[in-house]
Structure 1
């Protein structure tokens, strides 16, 4: 059930202040991967990742409405959420870039459904693309986890506009 509440009161801040306030929340960094219809792989960096439910096992992440990859992720049945490990900031930057082949130089294996799982990631979740909810300037994706694995190590953390390689400054 998707319920809308009455609109919020008038804001007393601008978009820049909102963005700066959000940057104070430390977050993990993920690379979401899937496959294009022609067989090529597609991946992007996302820090908007969160758990939703243990039963059934659900996660969520979001993607901007203006993203060229939105139709692919919306239409595909599966994707993999790769939780990057400390020291993998180069992968976050590469998958956030506009380069043609974001997988160049990236070591990966294939998941059960044939999608890229990034080697050395702290964890990964292979998800059925269960539902999507348009909200504001993004689409929220809810994935039902069909398989996951962990590689216990420190995660890559993003805070205040920079990558941190540990949870202490």
Structure 2
């Protein structure tokens, strides 16, 4: 189903942007052992039992196939000090993850070492969602540290009051 011709797509996007969200870096291993990653603000909890989280990405994103093929991924919630990382990893180029301070989880997935919160996930389900793909992950391991989280609202970055 497509929206009606008189539907205000830009107004809809602007209205969605009014909702302040956290900002995260999601990373998966590629079939050749490399890594693919991107900045997201579409992260949410799904279930406590089993422990499930979700995120989504535009279906045509350059790294979409890597995420679809991956058996798992990490979600690194960014701190207020990570705005430059958020901006860099929102780009489409393949070098955006170069020189980031990444560490492997026990399962072998890469995550941002100094993330405010991180989740190591096994892919539990993938669903089409209009022009996006929705990924649900079962959390096997997680961690956190104190600090303010990076926030995004109305097209601008800010920080939580932590």
TM over 0.5, shorter chain: yes
| C-alpha separation in 2, matches of 1:100 and 1:27 | 25
- Displacement, 1:86? 0.7
Is residue 2:108 matched to residue 1:111?
A: no
- Displacement, 1:11? 8.2
Match of 1:14 among 8, 11, 15: 8
Question: Partner of 2:81: helix, strand, or coil?
Answer: coil
Structure 1: stretches of 5+ with no match in the other structure: 1-6
Is residue 2:47 matched to residue 1:53?
A: yes
The CA RMSD measured in Å over matched residues stands at 2.0
Is residue 2:156 matched to residue 1:162?
A: yes
| C-alpha separation in 1, matches of 2:53 and 2:5 | 30
Question: Partner of 1:87: helix, strand, or coil?
Answer: helix
Question: Partner of 1:88: helix, strand, or coil?
Answer: helix
Structure 2 counterpart of 1:153: 147
Q: What are the Cα deviations for residues 19-52 of structure 1, in whole angstroms up to 9, with x where unaligned? A: 1101100000010001111221111111000000
> Are the structure 2 counterparts of residues 105 and 9 from structure 1 closer, same or farther at C-alpha, using a change threshold of 3 Å?
closer
- Displacement, 1:65? 1.1
| Structure of higher CA gyration radius | 1
| C-alpha separation in 2, matches of 1:71 and 1:9 | 27
Structure 2 counterpart of 1:72: 66
Structure 2 counterpart of 1:125: 119
Is residue 2:79 matched to residue 1:93?
A: no
> Are the structure 2 counterparts of residues 25 and 11 from structure 1 closer, same or farther at C-alpha, using a change threshold of 3 Å?
farther
